[in-house]
Structure 1
């Protein structure tokens, strides 16, 4: 197995033009999906943006309440979710890292299934696994940061002044800003996991990678803009 710097330097030489095009489609789909979901058209907000409005209302209600035990429990649930997905991503990272050192068995399995593999197929598969690994690491980092931000929200929630105290509005706005950032990173982590699964299609060929990336994008757009959840959250009567 080549060292990591040498492998990264060799990526352009290892992949065919079809692989590079498919990888570009994959990265473009991922970036455009995030851009569309986080900055949707005004006439068609995404589920994520609608939930952002509801989170803002939640924080406003927290400022009016004297007893905030329920809010602390809800934040604990959100933090547990980010911890779960962070742990799951870490397990997946370990699995992919272990596969990088055993690509000879994967190549042998591919030949058994009749796949047309080149002589340097072992190195190519190592490079593909490395890219999948980087995508999973990106997801893990987002979940870890979301977990920490949810912890910040809990601290700020505990520091909120009484409902009739001066400076309550600015304190609530501060809590809401950190809460929105935590949810944004958590949602980005989830989308990254979706695309990490889509990246596995690369082992069946560049056309499959491009197809899985496009299908993942369409699935996320449908869930964010045309799902039953969207209709339930939208309050403007748009359908």
Structure 2
């Protein structure tokens, strides 16, 4: 690739492998059931099952409003990040001149700088689509909560199907939200590339360790470590 060294390409490959590897570890791997995200999915399922026994579901709609508001915030932040990133393309020559004065191994050319900026904008674009879709799925989940059978006098089979649909929709919304946040974190790692390939690898490794620790060894993950805590690979069927 014109303007990029072998080390640059290796650093980019390491970045992609780290992202895909983390995705596998927390969503598909043999220990994914012990991740904080999966443990919270169990609580999502428990929440929906508990809501079936309530005549008044105002509390449930308030919880959903909180989830939607948080998702909308990140979606709008993604748009701002995309705009700010693309705006930096207009200052490419000035930025290249600044980097030339820094004690780096090699100052980037304008073409290299622009390619890196476009790559960063693509990451934020991916995050936006994930947050926007998550927001839509939470909207669907509100409808499904409203469609849950009444607390008393419902058909058990109908109630089971309704709870299952609501749980799966809620889990799917949370999954896409988590992937959007993951893109934000890896965007921080990607910014290391502007300082050079070695910094890119170091930033990626630091972000990967921090994210992995939060899922499997953080104080939040230890909340669920008590005798008898459920640890299936996915939420149990209602």
Would you say same fold, with TM above 0.5?
Answer: yes
**C-alpha deviation, 1:14, in angstroms:** 3.0
Query: How many residue pairs are counted as aligned between the two chains?
Result: 226
Evaluate the alpha carbon distance shift between residue 237 and residue 18 of structure 1 in structure 2; reply closer, same or farther with a 3 A threshold.
farther
What's the Cα RMSD here? 1.7
Cα distance in 1, alignment partners of residues 32 and 15 from structure 2: 28
Evaluate the alpha carbon distance shift between residue 225 and residue 90 of structure 1 in structure 2; reply closer, same or farther with a 3 A threshold.
same
Q: Could you tell me which residue of structure 1 aligns to residue 77 of structure 2?
A: 88
Evaluate the alpha carbon distance shift between residue 131 and residue 88 of structure 1 in structure 2; reply closer, same or farther with a 3 A threshold.
same
Deviations 1:104-155 (A, max 9, x none): 111111122243545x711100001111111111111100000110010001
TM-score by length of 2: 0.90
**C-alpha deviation, 1:39, in angstroms:** 2.6
**C-alpha deviation, 1:161, in angstroms:** 1.3
Cα distance in 2, alignment partners of residues 58 and 35 from structure 1: 26
Match of 2:154, SS? Answer: coil
Contact 2:25 2:32 in 1 (8 A): no
Match of 1:227, SS? Answer: coil
Tell me, which stretches of 5 or more residues in structure 1 are unaligned?
A: 1-11
1:1-239 aligned at under 5 Å gives the runs: 12-42=1-31, 45-117=34-106, 121-163=109-151, 164-166=153-155, 167-236=158-227
TM-score by length of 1: 0.90
Contact 1:103 1:125 in 2 (8 A): yes
Cα distance in 2, alignment partners of residues 28 and 122 from structure 1: 27
Cα distance in 2, alignment partners of residues 17 and 42 from structure 1: 34
Deviations 1:178-216 (A, max 9, x none): 100000000111111000011000011011111111111
Contact 1:223 1:230 in 2 (8 A): yes
Deviations 1:201-237 (A, max 9, x none): 0011011111111111110111100111111023447
Cα distance in 1, alignment partners of residues 79 and 101 from structure 2: 31
Tell me, which stretches of 5 or more residues in structure 2 are unaligned?
A: 230-238
Cα distance in 1, alignment partners of residues 19 and 31 from structure 2: 21
Deviations 1:20-61 (A, max 9, x none): 100000011011111101134359600001001111101111
Cα distance in 1, alignment partners of residues 146 and 91 from structure 2: 50
Evaluate the alpha carbon distance shift between residue 236 and residue 41 of structure 1 in structure 2; reply closer, same or farther with a 3 A threshold.
farther
Evaluate the alpha carbon distance shift between residue 43 and residue 181 of structure 1 in structure 2; reply closer, same or farther with a 3 A threshold.
closer
